[in-house]
Structure 1
Amino acid sequence: MGGGVEATVMNHYRHIDRDKVQFDFIVQDDSTVVPVDEIESLGGRVFTIPSYKQLPLYIKECEKLFRKLHPVIVHSHMNALSVFPLGAAKRAGVPVRIAHSHSTSNPREYAKTAVKMCLRPFSRVYPTHYAACSHYTAQWLFGSQLDKAGKVKIIRNAIEPETFHFNAAVRAAKRSELGIGDNQLLIGQVGRMCFQKNQLFTLDVFKQVLERRPDAILALAGDGDMMDEVRKRIHELGIERSVKVLGIRKDMNQLCQAFDVLALPSTYEGLSVVAVEAQTAGLPILASTNVSKETDVIPGLIQFIPLKNKAQWINAMVSAPVAEQHQDTHNLIRQAGYDITNSAQQLSGWYQKLFSEVQN
Structure 2
Amino acid sequence: MKRILAGFIMDGKAGGVDKYLLNFLDAVKNQDVQIDFLTDEVHEELKTYLAQYHCNLYPIASLRHPVRQFRQVCAVLQQKHYDMIYLNVSTAIDCIAAFAAKKMRVKERAIHSHSSGNDCESTAQRLVYDVVHRICKMFFYRAGTRFYGCSVKAGEWIFPKKIVQSEKFEVIYNAVDRNRFQYKEEIRRQVRKELGITDEQLVIGHIGNFCYAKNYPFLIDLFSDIHEKEKDSVFLLTGTGVELEEVREMVKKRGLTDCIRFLGWRKDADRLYQAMDLFVLPSRFEGLPIVGVEAQCAKLACVLSDTITREAKIQDHCHFLPLADGTEKWAGFILQHSRYDRMKVALTAEAANYDLDRQKEQLRRIVCH
TM-score when normalising by structure 1? 0.90
Greater alpha carbon shift after TM alignment, 201-210 vs 311-320: 311-320
Report the counterpart of residue 174 of structure 1 in structure 2.
Answer: 191
Partner of residue 32 from structure 2, selected from 13, 20, 31: 20
Listed as ranges, the gaps of 5+ residues in structure 2 are: 1-9
Q: Is the 8 A contact 1:11 1:159 kept in 2?
A: no
User: What is the CA-CA distance between 1:175 and the residue it aligns to?
Assistant: 1.6
Report the counterpart of residue 67 of structure 2 in structure 1.
Answer: 56
Residue 246 of structure 1 aligns to a residue whose secondary structure is strand
**Counterparts in 2 of 1:10-89, with a 5 A limit?**
10-29=22-41, 35-79=46-90, 80-89=92-101
Partner of residue 276 from structure 2, selected from 256, 259, 268: 259
Which amino acid is the alignment partner of residue 295 of structure 1? Answer: A
CA distance in 2, matches of 1:192, 1:110: 21
Report the counterpart of residue 245 of structure 1 in structure 2.
Answer: 262
Report the counterpart of residue 5 of structure 2 in structure 1.
Answer: none
Change (3 A) 1:112 1:259: farther
Report the counterpart of residue 131 of structure 2 in structure 1.
Answer: 114
Which amino acid is the alignment partner of residue 90 of structure 1? Answer: K
Q: Is the 8 A contact 2:27 2:363 kept in 1?
A: no
Deviations 1:166-194 (A, max 9, x none): 11111111122222211111111111111
CA distance in 2, matches of 1:324, 1:177: 23
Residue 258 of structure 2 aligns to a residue whose secondary structure is helix
Q: Is the 8 A contact 2:137 2:160 kept in 1?
A: no
Percent identity over paired residues: 27
Change (3 A) 1:269 1:309: same
- Verify: 1:302 aligned to 2:322, yes or no: no
Q: What is the CA RMSD across the aligned residues, in angstroms?
A: 2.2
Q: Is the 8 A contact 1:281 1:327 kept in 2?
A: no
User: What is the CA-CA distance between 1:211 and the residue it aligns to?
Assistant: 0.9
CA distance in 2, matches of 1:253, 1:33: 26
Q: Is the 8 A contact 1:189 1:262 kept in 2?
A: yes
CA distance in 1, matches of 2:336, 2:301: 12
Which amino acid is the alignment partner of residue 88 of structure 1? Answer: A
User: What is the CA-CA distance between 1:141 and the residue it aligns to?
Assistant: 1.9
Which amino acid is the alignment partner of residue 16 of structure 1? Answer: V
**Counterparts in 2 of 1:220-235, with a 5 A limit?**
220-235=237-252
- Verify: 1:189 aligned to 2:206, yes or no: yes
Deviations 1:271-306 (A, max 9, x none): 1111111111111111111101111122x2221111
Which amino acid is the alignment partner of residue 212 of structure 2? Answer: F
Report the counterpart of residue 348 of structure 1 in structure 2.
Answer: 364
Residue 240 of structure 1 aligns to a residue whose secondary structure is coil
TM-score when normalising by structure 2? 0.88
Deviations 1:10-34 (A, max 9, x none): 12222324342332111112x7796
Greater alpha carbon shift after TM alignment, 58-67 vs 186-195: 58-67
Greater alpha carbon shift after TM alignment, 214-223 vs 141-150: 141-150
Q: Is the 8 A contact 2:191 2:271 kept in 1?
A: yes
Deviations 1:296-333 (A, max 9, x none): 122x2221111121222111232343567445657967
Q: Is the 8 A contact 1:83 1:122 kept in 2?
A: no
User: What is the CA-CA distance between 1:220 and the residue it aligns to?
Assistant: 1.0
CA distance in 1, matches of 2:156, 2:325: 28
Change (3 A) 1:297 1:273: same
Change (3 A) 1:162 1:5: same
Q: Is the 8 A contact 1:281 1:328 kept in 2?
A: no
Residue 33 of structure 2 aligns to a residue whose secondary structure is coil
Change (3 A) 1:102 1:239: same
Residue 35 of structure 1 aligns to a residue whose secondary structure is helix
